[in-house]
Amino acid sequence: MGLNVNVPAPGYHLRRVKKWGQDAGMVRAGYSTTARLVNGREVGQFCMVEPYGVKADGTWVGTWSAISNYSTLTHDDLMCIAAWQKPETGNDVNQKMNYLYHEQDSHETVAELWGIGKWNETSKAYYGHMVHAGQWVAVSDVLENVRAYMPNESAKLWVQMRELLLFRRADFSKSFSTHPWLVQRATAAYPTDRYGEFVRGEVFMSVMLDPRDFPANNRVVRALLPVEWLE
């Protein structure tokens, strides 16, 4: 695999999430700039993939949307995220955090993180349920067959999925260099699905947050990723 890192928890192994537009399955699910036109025009997008959220009773949360499904972060959590960012020529920590965070003055959300007020002043923020395309994740060794509505499909299909290892608050002490399946590069998909790992230099953000530590709006307890979205 070529990774000089620790290994995930027992029962999990590492897989890489496919990039936007990498194959027909990703395009069919809408993970392509050609499938997400803005005013009829192909534009760059946050290169994320939304997990399949499951409630305690085993039912689906009802939508794949990373805007409709989100978890809450405290001010201190945001400071921990800022501590992952390293200043580079032309991109200081504030610029990198402003890439991740949208100062919300309406119901519109245009970033991975959002809240009221500036990122370093707000008392809380929200993070959509997502992982970053092209990045490593830790998924369960157990393969699950789930009858699910896939994105852009009108009927349920039997889909092979694996449970995603989620980010706990204690994981803020970890880094991309040692735990890239927990702390990922925030990636982008530019027009024609050109992949970008260096959006404002290196910008780091976690995988989906664990609701045991970060309250979720949708009562989710588990998150699964379709196998066809993994390399």
pLDDT the model gives residue 67: 87
pLDDT the model gives residue 202: 97
Q: Exposed, middle or buried, 115 (CB in 10 Å: 0-12/13-18/19+)?
A: buried
Per mean pLDDT, which range of 5-19, 122-136, 157-171, 191-205 is the poorest?
A: 5-19
CA-to-CA distance for 220 and 70, rounded, in angstroms? 10
- Say which residue the tokens 């979205």 belong to: 229
pTM attached to this predicted model: 0.94
When pLDDT is cut at 50, 70 and 90, the band that residue 4 belongs to is low
Contact status, residue 140 vs residue 12, Cβ threshold 8 Å: yes
pLDDT the model gives residue 109: 56
Contact status, residue 136 vs residue 180, Cβ threshold 8 Å: yes
Q: What is the 3-state secondary structure (H, E, C) of the chain?
A: CCCCCCCCCCCEEEEEECCCCCCHHHHHCCCCCCCCCECCECCCEECEECCEEEECCCCECCCCCCCCCEEEEEHHHHHHHHHHCCCECCECHHHHHHHHEEECCCCCCCCCEEECCCCCCCCEEEEECCEECCCEEEEECCCEEEEECCCCCCCCEEEEEEEECCECHHHHHCCCCCCCCCEEECCEEEHHHEEECCCCCCCEEECCECCCCCCECCCEEEEEEEHHHEC
Q: Percentage of the chain with pLDDT > 90?
A: 91
CA-to-CA distance for 172 and 182, rounded, in angstroms? 9
Q: What are the tens digits of pLDDT across the range 92-114? A: 999 999 999 999 865 555 689 99
Q: What are the tens digits of pLDDT across the range 186-227? A: 999 999 999 999 999 999 999 999 999 999 999 999 999 999
